[in-house]
C-alpha cells in the first residue's frame, strides 16, 4: 500500500473531527493542570473528611472490636462482608468490561479503559481493607496466609477467610499489572512533555528570562522512572500488545472464578436462599452492572473535570448507557427467575426467604434494588438520556447503590432468620458500620482525585490508535526533507523523522536496510513496520500460561499437602483431600503468577528498564511519544555507510522524511 491511501471509514463519532496525535496528547496530559481549580480542592477536602471518618471508625474498631458494627449472632456477616462483596463486585465488573472490550477490539474502549482499570484498582484497594479489619485481631492478619510459622500450623484452606485473603492479593496484583502496563506508554508521553518543559525553562534561563526550577526536571525524572525508559520501539510495541492481551485473558478468568466462587461459597452453607443454580450468573451480572455503573459515573466525571469532550464523546456515553440497559434487563431476569424458581419448586424455607426479601424487615433492600438499579436503567431506552452526561452519571451511581442493596439483601435477610424461629435475630446497621463504609468510599475518592491530578485518566495510546485507524482531514504536509546534520563521530546511526506510521513503513520498504540495523520508534504500535522488521517471537502468552499453570498447581498441591498429609484435621467428617474447596484460591494464585510472569517477560524481552539509551540522543525524540515516527539506521559494523543512507533517504519519492539526522553515540 505504499504511496496510496487506503480509504478508511470516517470517524464514527468516537473522536472529535479535529483531534490528531498531538492534540490528544495535549488534551490528556494537560488534563492534570486543569484540575487545579477550586472544585478539585473542594472534592479533595470532602474525600479527606471521609478519610478522617474512616480513621476514627478504624480507631474505634481497634479499641472495641467488631461488635461496634452491631454484628450479632446469627447475623455474623453484616456490613463488613456486604461492603467487601460490593467493592470487589465493582472491581470485578469494571475489570470484566475493560478486558472484554480489549479482547474483542471494540474501538470505543479508548475512552473508558483507563477509567475502568483505575476503578478496578481503587475498588480492590478499598475491598482489600475489609478482610483485614473485620478480623477480631486485625494485627495478626498474616495468620490467614501460609507463612513459615513456629506453630506448626497451616491456615485453614477450607475457609473462605483464606480464599478472601488469597483472592484479594491476587486480584490486586493482577489489576495493578493491567493498569500499570496500560499506563506505561502514557507515562513515557508525560515524561517527554515534562522534559520538554524543563528544556524550555533551561533555554529561557540561559537567555536571561525566568529562572530554572529544580522541580520541573525532577518531575520529568519521576515520570521517566515510572515509564521505565519506554521509548516506543517497534518490537516493544508488539510485545506490549501481546502482554496487554495476555493480561486481559488472565483477568477475565480471575473475575469469572472470583464471582462464581463467591456464589459457590454461599451455596456451600446450609442456609436457605443461597442455592439457586443461576446464582453464579446472577453474581457475574450484578458485578458487571455495578462495575459499568461506577465506570460510567467516573467517565462522565473525567470528561467534565478534564474537559475531554473531544475524546469522550456522546457516542461513548451512549455505549455505556446501552450496556447498563442490557445488564439491567439481564439482572431483572435473574431476580425474576430466582423468585419464580423458589415459589415453583423451592422448599418452605426458600419460599419464606423470598417472602422476607419482598416484605420482611429488610424489604427496603429489595425495593432499593428495584428503584435504584432495575428501573433507572430503563431510561436508556431514550436516545436523549443515553447521550446526556448527567443522566449517565446519575444512573451509574444509582446502580452502584442498588448493587449495595443487593449484597445486603442476599446476606442479611438469609442470616437474620434461618430455620428455627428461636435463632432469628434482627439486624440494624450501627453508626460505626456506616461510618466505616463511608470511610472506604472516602479512600476510593481520595485516591481517585489524586490520580485525576497526576495521571492520564484517558489512555493516550488507545485514543491515538483510534485516531490512526480513522484519519480525518488533510494528510500531513509534504515537507521537503531537510539536509542531514553533520555531527562529530563516533556515530550511533542515522535517523529520519516521519509524520505517520504509514510514511515510515513506506520509506522502510523503499530504502531497505543498507547494511545497518533498523529500528523504528513511534507513539503507537506500528504493525506495518513490525512486519518488515520481523515480528518478535510470541513467548509472552506461553510464559504466562506456564506460570499460571505452575502457580495454580503449586497452590493446590500446598493445600492438599497441608490438609491431607501434614496436619490431618477432621472437620465435621469432611473428606481428607477435599480438592474442590481449594479451586478458587488456586485459580486466583495461578492468575497472579501468570500476570507477574507476563510483566516480567515483557520487561526482560524488551530489555527494560533502560533509562539512558542512544535513541534518546535523536534530536526532538520527545516527539516520538507525541506525533512523530523515527526510523533509525544503527551503525553496527564497518559496512555502515552514513552518506549512502542519507542519499537514499533524501531521494525518497512519495511520503518523504521531515528531517534526516546523524546521531552521535
**What is the 3-class SS of 480-549, one letter each residue?**
CCCCCECCCCCEEEEEEEECCHHHHHHHHHHHCCCCCEEEEECCCCCHHHHHHHCCCCCHHHHHHHHHHH
CB of 140 to another protein, least distance (A): 13
Angle, helices 642-650/501-511, rounded to nearest 10 degrees: 120
> Does residue 611 touch another protein according to CB under 8 A?
yes
Please say which residue, 475 or 565, places its beta carbon nearer to another protein: 565
* Angle at CA of residue 435, ends 429 and 441, nearest 5°: 115
Residue 422 DSSP class:
G
Interacting residues of 547 by C-beta distance below 8 A, sequence separation 6+: 590, 593, 594, 596, 597, 598
> Does residue 67 touch another protein according to CB under 8 A?
no
Among 19, 66, 172, 220, binds another protein (CB under 8 A): 220
CB of 625 to another protein, least distance (A): 12
CA distance 438 to 362: 21
> Does residue 568 touch another protein according to CB under 8 A?
yes
Site track for another protein across 146-185, x = CB under 8 A: -xxxxxxx--------------------------------
CB atoms within 10 A of CB 411: 24
Number of Cα atoms under 13 Å in the Cβ half of residue 328: 27
CB of 640 to another protein, least distance (A): 22
From 156-164, 401-409, 510-518, 606-614, span contacting another protein (CB under 8 A): 606-614
Please say which residue, 131 or 146, places its beta carbon nearer to another protein: 146
Among 609, 643, 647, 654, binds another protein (CB under 8 A): 609
Among 100, 221, 260, 378, binds another protein (CB under 8 A): 221
Among 22, 199, 429, 438, binds another protein (CB under 8 A): 199
Query: Phi, psi (5° rounding) for residue 560?
Result: -65, -45
Please say which residue, 170 or 295, places its beta carbon nearer to another protein: 170
CB of 567 to another protein, least distance (A): 8
Residue 11 DSSP class:
P
Interacting residues of 637 by C-beta distance below 8 A, sequence separation 6+: 515
> Does residue 225 touch another protein according to CB under 8 A?
yes
CA distance 242 to 178: 12
From 221-229, 275-283, 312-320, 641-649, span contacting another protein (CB under 8 A): 221-229
From 240-248, 354-362, 401-409, 565-573, span contacting another protein (CB under 8 A): 565-573
CB of 129 to another protein, least distance (A): 21
What are the contacts of 359-364 at 24+ separation with CB within 8 A? 360/413, 360/417, 361/416, 361/426, 362/408, 362/409, 362/412, 362/413, 362/416, 362/427, 364/405
> Does residue 207 touch another protein according to CB under 8 A?
no
Among 86, 154, 195, 630, binds another protein (CB under 8 A): 195
Using DSSP, how many helices (H) and how many strands (E) does the chain show? 22, 4
CA-to-CA separations, 89 to 189, 244, 334, 641, in angstroms, rounded:
32, 22, 16, 60
Please say which residue, 200 or 542, places its beta carbon nearer to another protein: 200
Per rule CB under 8 A, count of chain residues that contact another protein: 26
Enumerate residues 502-541 that contact another protein by CB under 8 A: none
CB of 83 to another protein, least distance (A): 30
Q: Which spans of this chain sit near another protein (rule: CB under 8 A)?
A: 147-153, 191, 195, 199, 202, 217, 220-221, 224-225, 229, 567-569, 609-612, 616-617
Amino acid at each position: 500500500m505504499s504511496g496510496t491511501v487506503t480509504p478508511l471509514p470516517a470517524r464514527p463519532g468516537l473522536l472529535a473531527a479535529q483531534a490528531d496525535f498531538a492534540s490528544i496528547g495535549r488534551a490528556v496530559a494537560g488534563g492534570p493542570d486543569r484540575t487545579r481549580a477550586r472544585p478539585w480542592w473542594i472534592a479533595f477536602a470532602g474525600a479527606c473528611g471521609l478519610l478522617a471518618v474512616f480513621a476514627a471508625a478504624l480507631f474505634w474498631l481497634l479499641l472495641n472490636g467488631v461488635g461496634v458494627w452491631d454484628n450479632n449472632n446469627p447475623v455474623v456477616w453484616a456490613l463488613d462482608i456486604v461492603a467487601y462483596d460490593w467493592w470487589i463486585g465493582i472491581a470485578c465488573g469494571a475489570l470484566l468490561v475493560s478486558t472484554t472490550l480489549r479482547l474483542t477490539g471494540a474501538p470505543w474502549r479508548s475512552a473508558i479503559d483507563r477509567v475502568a482499570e483505575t476503578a478496578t484498582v481503587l475498588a480492590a484497594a478499598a475491598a482489600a481493607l475489609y478482610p483485614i479489619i473485620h478480623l477480631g485481631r486485625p494485627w495478626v492478619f498474616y495468620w490467614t496466609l501460609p507463612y513459615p510459622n513456629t506453630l506448626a500450623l497451616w491456615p485453614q484452606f477450607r475457609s473462605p477467610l483464606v480464599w478472601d485473603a488469597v483472592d484479594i492479593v491476587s486480584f490486586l496484583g493482577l489489576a495493578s499489572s493491567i493498569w500499570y502496563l496500560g499506563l506505561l506508554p502514557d507515562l513515557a508521553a508525560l515524561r517527554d512533555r515534562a522534559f520538554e518543559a524543563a528544556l524550555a525553562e533551561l533555554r529561557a534561563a540561559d537567555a536571561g528570562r525566568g529562572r530554572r526550577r529544580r522541580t520541573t526536571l525532577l518531575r520529568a525524572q519521576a515520570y521517566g522512572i515510572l515509564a521505565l525508559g519506554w521509548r516506543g520501539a517497534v518490537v516493544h510495541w508488539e510485545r506490549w500488545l501481546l502482554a496487554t492481551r495476555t493480561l486481559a485473558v488472565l483477568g477475565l478468568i480471575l473475575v469469572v472464578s472470583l464471582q462464581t466462587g463467591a456464589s459457590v461459597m454461599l451455596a456451600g452453607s446450609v442456609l436457605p436462599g443461597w442455592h439457586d443454580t443461576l446464582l453464579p450468573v446472577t453474581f457475574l451480572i450484578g458485578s458487571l452492572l455495578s462495575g459499568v455503573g461506577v465506570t460510567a459515573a467516573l467517565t462522565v466525571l473525567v470528561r467534565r473535570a478534564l474537559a475531554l469532550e473531544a475524546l469522550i464523546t456522546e457516542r461513548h456515553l451512549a455505549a455505556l448507557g446501552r450496556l447498563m440497559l442490557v445488564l439491567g434487563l439481564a439482572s431483572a431476569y435473574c431476580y425474576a427467575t430466582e423468585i419464580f424458581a423458589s415459589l415453583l419448586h423451592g422448599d418452605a424455607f426458600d419460599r419464606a426467604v423470598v417472602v422476607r426479601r419482598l416484605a420482611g424487615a429488610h424489604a427496603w433492600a429489595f425495593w432499593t434494588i428495584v428503584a435504584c438499579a432495575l428501573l433507572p436503567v430503563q431510561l436508556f431506552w431514550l436516545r436523549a438520556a443515553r447521550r446526556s452526561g448527567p443522566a449517565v452519571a446519575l444512573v451509574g451511581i444509582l446502580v452502584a447503590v442498588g448493587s449495595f442493596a443487593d449484597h445486603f439483601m442476599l446476606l442479611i435477610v438469609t442470616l437474620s432468620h434461618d430455620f428455627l424461629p428461636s435463632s432469628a435475630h434482627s439486624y440494624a446497621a450501627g453508626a460505626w458500620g456506616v461510618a466505616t463504609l463511608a470511610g472506604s468510599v472516602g479512600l476510593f475518592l481520595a485516591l481517585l482525585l489524586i490520580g485525576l491530578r497526576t495521571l492520564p485518566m484517558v489512555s493516550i495510546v488507545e485514543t491515538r490508535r483510534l485516531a490512526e485507524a480513522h484519519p480525518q482531514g488533510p494528510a500531513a504536509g509534504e515537507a521537503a526533507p531537510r539536509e542531514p546534520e553533520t555531527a562529530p563521530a563516533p556515530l550511533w546511526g542515522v535517523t529520519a523523522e516521519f509524520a505517520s506510521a504509514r510514511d515510515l513503513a513506506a520509506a522502510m520498504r523503499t530504502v531497505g536496510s543498507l547494511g545497518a540495523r533498523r529500528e523504528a520508534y513511534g507513539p503507537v504500535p506500528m504493525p506495518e513496520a513490525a512486519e518488515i522488521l520481523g515480528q518478535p517471537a510470541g513467548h509472552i502468552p506461553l510464559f504466562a500460561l506456564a506460570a499460571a499453570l505452575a502457580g495454580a498447581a503449586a497452590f493446590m498441591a500446598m493445600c492438599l499437602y497441608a490438609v491431607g498429609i501434614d496436619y490431618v484435621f477432621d472437620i465435621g467428617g469432611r473428606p481428607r483431600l477435599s480438592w474442590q474447596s481449594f479451586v478458587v484460591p488456586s485459580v486466583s494464585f495461578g492468575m497472579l503468577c501468570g500476570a507477574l510472569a507476563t510483566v516480567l517477560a515483557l520487561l526482560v524481552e524488551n530489555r527494560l528498564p533502560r533509562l539512558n539509551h542512544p535513541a534518546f540522543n535523536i534530536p526532538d525524540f520527545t516527539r516520538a511519544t507525541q506525533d512523530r515516527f523515527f526510523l533509525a539506521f544503527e551503525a553496527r559494523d564497518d559496512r555502515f555507510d552514513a552518506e549512502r543512507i542519507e542519499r537514499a533517504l533524501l531521494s525518497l519519492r512519495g511520503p518523504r522524511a521531515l528531517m534526516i539526522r546523524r546521531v552521535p553515540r
